[in-house]
Amino acid sequence: MKKIVLSIILLASVFQVEAQYGFDNMVELTGVVMSSDSLRFLPFVTVQIPSKQRGTISNDQGVFSIIAEKGDTLEFTSIGYRKKRYVLPKELSSNRYSIIQLMTQDTFYLTTTIIRPQLSKEEFEKAFSTWDIPDDQYELARKNTEIQTMRVLLATLPRDGREGQSVLQQTFAQKNYWAGQQPPMTIFSPLAWAEFLKAWKRGDFKKKKSKL
């Protein structure tokens, strides 16, 4: 008798577990996907359950059908529309459920496009030979880093605060080095003459125009 009672209790437990985690927890979900602004049917929208790695696609009328579990999160994705998520209620009393999912169109910002009439052969040849095409960033960087351009900038641009402070410190250091004695004359020094000729070629002794 005890064995029979124990068997009945075990069978009741099994049926209760199957009812809780088996077919009673499954839901046949059907629905329609539409646009929120015009209520237009959206075809070929991907409907998937990320946690189950299972999904489907809406037909040409926006209708879809999928088997899910209560509490599952559904994800709706389509090109040109924002991603939407829907959580299936856990308190459903039926194994069938229907929804209408609205999707918002995403905004795309495109660059300005200028449409011009087609040129004739003569106009195209003239435009091709006379139009001034501006340099891109790569060409501007190449021109600004040329040796001649950098030499001109070095000779014409005034010293900034850091360079002026460095020159002042070097001058003070040289004066302190020869403090208490006569500094040597460098008029007959070949190195001094070489530095003088280099500075003269660079144009260091030219008068700089003052900026008003």
> What is the per-residue pLDDT across 23-60, written as a single tens digit (0 to 9) for each?
678 899 999 999 998 899 999 999 999 988 889 999 99
Whole-number Å distance between alpha carbons of 127 and 148: 32
Q: Which two tokens stand for residue 173?
A: 């250091």
End-to-end CA distance of the chain: 115
- Looking at domain 2-103, its CATH class is mainly beta
Whole-number Å distance between alpha carbons of 124 and 102: 50
**The pTM is what?**
0.43
**8 Å CB contact between 61 and 43:** yes
Q: Chain-centre distance of CA 114, in angstroms?
A: 26
Q: Where in the chain is the domain with CATH 2.60.40.10?
A: 2-103
Whole-number Å distance between alpha carbons of 23 and 70: 11
> What is the per-residue pLDDT across 71-123, written as a single tens digit (0 to 9) for each?
999 999 998 899 999 999 988 888 899 999 999 988 777 788 888 777 788 88
